[in-house]
């Protein structure tokens, strides 16, 4: 949970939830090369807001017991979330270890905050959501120098007679977005039936066998060496000071299916040759937001002392691609863990700022998507090195989430979420993507920027959408 001095919550209960006793044997899970790049990634933080027009005592006595029981039943199949990440000193490898009784901390709080304001789309101070995000329990050290790191924490915030917010914090090393949402929708489905029907889980049991991830090129060792080098100078306690977020606001932008289709047609009309032009919803959405962000940041971040050389610098967009069900890898759709290819796209700043910036962005992103068709692991040995290089250059934007994960299908029996937020973008500066709540073929985009930058971004976005009509 966020620092209590900034919170608007009252703690009602804190408990530990584990799989049913004896249901999961002691298990050690190695990391694969898909997991290793995320070892230094900040925890993922997601909030789900649900309407719940009932008093707090009703939630505590009628809903909470089922929520905890269904979580326990679900963790039997998704046990890595209740396990710990063990990080022994070099040269031993980090791995997950579950033993009977390992659990997830669940905190229940009550808040008088304005529920409707918190889940609004308009710009709000980023720190307003932080009291509803759980903190992972602190790591501990055993056997002298092996760090034991909890993987997940949960928090339920009750807004009396208005709603409920479910907050989740988890380590990206344990799972990617598809695996995480598989867990969340399984838990929700079990809870919705009163924990009497496990059919939804039994029809889609997570696949935990790491042997299915083949590593003929030794990527795991390459990535672990990079991690060991970084870990020697990295301090876990490093965090963003609240003052650094004081001027930041977050806002949500909804792009409807018709708007996206018009953008696709507009881009196609600007190109003389569309033979190899990829204009998927993902490509067009990322291109639009990327260009608008670069233009906005140029106005507020580099208006002073800008030389022509700056405009020739590359700007980077970083996104991930799911490698499940790819023919060359044969990893099942229900594989639990990380199964993502890292994708780096670069375009000169001058091109993104130019009149054809949107077209150049679509071409670059589309080309990278096209390359994935010939193999998602092409150039994988350079993933961590490329990330480090791009991070040092500074001009990059990452994409988090996806419009294909069915985030708004997570129904615990209280209806679909009214809003979901990816909170870590407050710090990372990433673009968050989800399906549009009101238009399943549309996209919901989340951003966290300084207030002046957000206002300017919104103006540029509206202008860009008008031009595509």
Which residue in the block uniquely carries the two structure tokens 């994409």? 399
β-strand partners of 318? 344, 398
Q: What token pair was written down for 79?
A: 């046990």
Q: Is 172 a catalytic residue?
A: yes
Which residue in the block uniquely carries the two structure tokens 């496990």? 198
Which position among 77, 130, 172, 456 bears the catalytic label?
172
- The secondary structure of the chain, three-state, reads CCCHHHCCCEEEEEEEECCCCCCCCCEEEECCCCCHHHCCCCCEEEEEEEECCCCHHHHHHHHHHHHHHHHHHHHCCCHHHHCEEEECCCCCCCEEEECCCCCEEEEEEECCCCHHHHCCCCCEEHHHCHHHCCCCCCCEEECCCEEEEECEEEEEEEECCCEEEEEEEECCCCCCHHHHHHHHHHHHHHHHCCCCCCHHHHCCCCECCHHHCCCCCCHHHHHHHHHHHHHCCCCCCCCCCHHHHCCEEEEEEEECHHHHHHHHHHHHHHCCCCCCCCCCHHHHHHHHHHHHHHHHHHHHHCCCCCCHHHHCCEEEEEEEEECCCCCCCCCCCCECCCCEEEEEEEEEHHHHHCCCHHHHHHHHHHHHHHHHCCCCCCCHHHHHHHHHHHHHHCCEEEEEECCCCCHHHCCCCCCCCCEEEECCHHHHCCEEEEECCCCCCCEEEEEEEEHHHHHHHHHHHHHHHHHCC
Q: Is 143 a catalytic residue?
A: no
CA 261 to chain centre: 26
Any idea which residues carry the catalytic annotation? 172, 411
């Amino acid at each position: 949970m966020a620092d209590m001095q900034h919170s608007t919550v009252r703690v009602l209960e804190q408990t530990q939830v584990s799989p049913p006793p004896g249901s999961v044997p002691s298990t050690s899970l190695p990391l694969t090369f898909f997991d290793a790049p995320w070892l230094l990634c900040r925890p993922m933080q997601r909030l789900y807001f649900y309407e719940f027009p009932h008093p707090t005592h009703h939630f505590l006595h009628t809903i909470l017991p089922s929520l905890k029981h269904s979580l326990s039943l679900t963790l039997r199949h998704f046990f890595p979330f209740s396990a710990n990440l063990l990080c022994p000193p070099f040269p031993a490898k980090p791995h997950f270890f579950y033993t009977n009784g390992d659990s997830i901390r669940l905190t229940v709080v009550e808040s008088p905050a304005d529920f409707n304001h918190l889940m609004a789309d308009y710009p709000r101070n980023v720190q307003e959501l932080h009291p509803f995000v759980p903190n992972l329990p602190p790591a501990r050290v055993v056997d002298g120098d092996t760090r034991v790191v909890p993987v997940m924490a949960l928090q339920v915030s009750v807004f009396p007679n208005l709603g409920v917010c479910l907050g989740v914090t988890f380590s990206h090393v344990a799972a990617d977005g598809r695996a995480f949402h598989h867990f969340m929708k399984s838990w929700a489905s079990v809870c919705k039936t009163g924990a009497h029907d496990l059919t939804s889980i039994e029809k889609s049991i997570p696949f935990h066998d790491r042997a299915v991830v083949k590593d003929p090129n030794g990527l795991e060792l390459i990535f672990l060496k990079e991690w060991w080098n970084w870990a020697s100078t990295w301090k876990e306690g490093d965090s963003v000071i609240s003052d650094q977020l004081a001027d930041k606001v977050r806002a949500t932008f909804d792009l409807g299916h018709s708007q996206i289709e018009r953008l696709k047609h507009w881009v196609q009309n600007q190109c003389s040759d569309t033979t190899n032009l990829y204009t998927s919803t993902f490509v067009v959405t990322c291109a639009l937001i990327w260009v608008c962000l670069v233009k906005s940041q140029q106005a507020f971040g580099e208006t002073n002392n800008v030389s022509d050389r700056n405009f020739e610098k590359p700007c980077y967009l970083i996104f991930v691609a799911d490698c499940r069900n790819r023919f060359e890898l044969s990893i099942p759709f229900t594989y639990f863990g990380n199964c993502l290819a890292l994708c780096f796209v670069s375009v000169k700043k001058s091109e993104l700022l130019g009149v054809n910036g949107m077209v150049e962005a679509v071409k670059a992103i589309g080309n990278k998507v096209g390359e994935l068709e010939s193999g998602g692991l092409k150039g994988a040995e350079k993933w961590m090195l490329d990330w480090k290089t791009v991070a040092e250059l500074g001009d990059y934007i990452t994409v988090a989430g996806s419009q294909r994960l069915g985030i708004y299908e997570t129904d615990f029996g209280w209806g679909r979420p009214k809003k979901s937020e990816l909170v870590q973008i407050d710090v990372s500066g990433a673009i968050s993507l989800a399906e549009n709540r009101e238009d399943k073929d549309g996209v919901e985009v989340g951003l966290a920027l300084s207030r002046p930058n957000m206002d300017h971004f919104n103006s540029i976005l509206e202008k860009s959408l008008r031009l595509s009509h």
